[in-house]
């Protein structure tokens, strides 16, 4: 089985990236794992032309198809996202917008293989879980339109720098045991 661990942050060396490393290492005993960062890909803004609503294809040429090929390859998808003003980072939101050709809200639509399980890990610098829950809802909404089963989420508060992640390593590992 295959697992994709997506760093939804454009930062490749911060706390989100450290969580991606922990998750990837934890899953490697059970899955073939690929870890990627949204910033590894060139994703253009959606133009809102709605052409994809009738063609199931986007008129723009960039790396969205390559990212969706990874989603198609994976049996398990783990999205790890920091909070950027109480939501996913803009780079990842642009990717979500560009997945409209794969959205089940219109026909025809493209599709990835069925039977995928999706998990979310969200972190924020503040102490309240409400912001994490909002981001988890964004990720689960995205999963739902791609017909990825939402199977679990973990919110981590009070994490600003990657050094703070180490104290939560066991908690992250226990969450990974459920995947």
Is there a contact between 25 and 78 (Cβ–Cβ < 8 Å)? Answer: no
Quick one: pLDDT at residue 29?
97
Cα gap 108→60, rounded to integer Å: 18
pTM passes above 0.95: yes
Cα gap 6→97, rounded to integer Å: 16
Instruction: Name the DSSP class of 64.
Output: H
Quick one: pLDDT at residue 53?
93
Q: What is the pLDDT along the chain (179 residues), one digit of tens a residue?
A: 999 999 999 999 999 999 999 999 999 999 999 999 999 999 999 999 999 999 999 999 999 999 999 999 999 999 999 999 999 999 999 999 999 999 999 899 999 999 999 999 999 999 999 999 999 999 999 999 999 999 999 999 999 999 999 999 999 999 999 99
Q: Provide DSSP, 40-55.
A: GS--PPP----THHHH
Quick one: pLDDT at residue 160?
93
Cα gap 179→173, rounded to integer Å: 10
- CA 142 from chain centre, in angstroms, equals 9
33 backbone dihedrals φ, ψ, rounded to 5° = -110, 135
């Amino acid at each position: 089985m295959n697992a994709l661990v997506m760093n939804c942050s454009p930062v490749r060396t911060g706390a989100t990236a450290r969580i991606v490393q922990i998750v990837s290492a934890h899953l490697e005993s059970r899955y073939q794992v690929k870890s990627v960062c949204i910033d590894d890909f060139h994703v253009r803004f959606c133009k809102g032309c709605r052409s994809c609503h009738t063609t199931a294809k986007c008129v723009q040429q960039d790396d969205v198809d390559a990212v969706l090929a990874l989603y198609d390859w994976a049996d398990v998808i783990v999205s790890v996202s920091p909070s950027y003003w109480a939501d996913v980072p803009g780079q990842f939101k642009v990717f979500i917008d560009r997945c409209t050709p794969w959205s089940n809200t219109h026909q025809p639509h493209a599709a990835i293989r069925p039977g995928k399980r999706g998990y979310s890990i969200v972190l924020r610098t503040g102490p309240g879980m409400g912001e994490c829950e909002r981001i988890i809802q964004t990720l689960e909404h995205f999963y739902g339109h791609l017909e990825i089963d939402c199977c679990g989420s973990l919110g981590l508060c009070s994490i600003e720098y990657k050094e703070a992640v180490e104290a939560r390593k066991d908690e992250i590992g226990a969450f990974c045991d459920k995947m």
